[in-house]
Amino acid sequence: MSAMEYSGPERRRRPGEERTRILIVDDHVLFRVGIAQILSKEGDLEVVGEAADSRSAMDVALETSPNVILMDLSLPSPGGIETTQRIKRELPSVAIIVLAVAEDEDALFEAIKAGAAAFILKDISPSDLVAIIRRVSGGEYLINDKVFSQPSVASRVLKEFRELAVYGHEAAPIFAPLSPREVEILDNIAQGMTNKQVAYQLSISEQTVKNHMSSILRKLSVNDRTQAVVYAMRQGWIKMPED
């Protein structure tokens, strides 16, 4: 993919609108440069960093706090999936788009478990890539559409959900879209705790709780914490509060 291929409509940034901050993680310099040039044409998008391996990806992500990360599936060891997991633990609200060279059901399944927001192929058109970045930045969880289009992967997802429901809350890791920590936070909120009380209970900062809640609402496509708790209870991820 190169900047020369892009001929789609450019979008200017509206007054007062914050740009979507993007981190590009790929071990091929030319690919990173091509993506950066494409995105630089969009007034509402801003590339805030690049990384060629897992360690630098984590460092740059923590330094720049991007809204969206483009993650190469074939990143050198420990690989794109594990790097996604590590970053999501530290920055739960970031939307990660996994880029693969070819369709791979196992990789898609692992990307779902890692909490990726989208799974796309590297031969995607520049205009489609820009559209997907905007959608995940707006809170959409596009990887679900990918799952539903592949019945074999969908059956594996359902199977793991059922197993977790059988084994109960102690099963680990809890299946994405929520991380184990996010399920733990929702479980505490279901008991009537405030963000401050949850922070104290889990020995984390109140801001970290708020960041996790933003991630939870985005992933579950709900508007508030009450809806999130109800949704999680219906799915069997957390138990009804005891009287």
Residue range 89-118: mean pLDDT, rounded = 86
Q: Output the six-digit token pair for 182.
A: 């996010």
What pLDDT band is residue 154 in, cutting at 50, 70 and 90?
low
Q: Is the pLDDT of residue 204 over 80?
A: yes
CB atoms within 10 A of CB 23: 24
% of the chain surpassing 70 pLDDT: 77
Residues composing the chain: 243
Q: Is the pLDDT of residue 183 over 50?
A: yes
What pLDDT band is residue 117 in, cutting at 50, 70 and 90?
confident
Which pLDDT score, from 0 to 100, does residue 17 have?
62
Q: What is the DSSP string of the chain?
A: --GGG--SPP-PPPTTPPPEEEEEE-S-HHHHHHHHHHHHT-TTEEEEEEESSHHHHHHHHHHH--SEEEEETT-STTHHHHHHHHHHHH-TT-EEEEEESS--HHHHHHHHHHT-SEEEETT--HHHHHHHHHHHHTT--THHHHHHT-HHHHHHHHHHHHHHHHH-TT-SSPPTTS-HHHHHHHHHHHTT--HHHHHHHHTS-HHHHHHHHHHHHHHHT-SSHHHHHHHHHHHTSSPPPP-
**4-8, 20-24, 164-168, 239-243: the lowest-pLDDT one:** 4-8
User: The whole model's pTM is what?
Assistant: 0.63
What pLDDT band is residue 172 in, cutting at 50, 70 and 90?
very low
What pLDDT band is residue 190 in, cutting at 50, 70 and 90?
confident
Amino acid identity at 81 = I
Domains of the chain by start residue, with CATH: 3-148 (3.40.50.2300), 178-235 (1.10.10.10)
Which pLDDT score, from 0 to 100, does residue 224 have?
80
What pLDDT band is residue 161 in, cutting at 50, 70 and 90?
low
> Dihedral of the CA atoms 119, 63, 179, 187 (nearest 10)?
-140
What pLDDT band is residue 8 in, cutting at 50, 70 and 90?
very low
Which pLDDT score, from 0 to 100, does residue 16 have?
52
What pLDDT band is residue 14 in, cutting at 50, 70 and 90?
low
**C-alpha to C-alpha distance for 186 and 60, rounded to whole angstroms:** 29
Which pLDDT score, from 0 to 100, does residue 126 have?
94
Q: Is the pLDDT of residue 145 over 80?
A: no
Task: List the one residue out of 160, 131, 191 whose CA is nearest residue 118.
Answer: 131
User: Per-residue pLDDT tens for 24-49?
Assistant: 999 999 999 999 999 999 999 999 99
C-alpha distances (whole Å) from 228 to each of 10, 38, 43, 214 are 36, 36, 33, 11
Look at the block and give the residue holding tokens 């633990």.
89
User: Per-residue pLDDT tens for 41-74?
Assistant: 999 999 999 999 999 999 999 999 999 999 999 9
When the pLDDT of each residue in the chain is averaged and rounded to a whole number, the result is 81
Q: Output the six-digit token pair for 116.
A: 């990726």
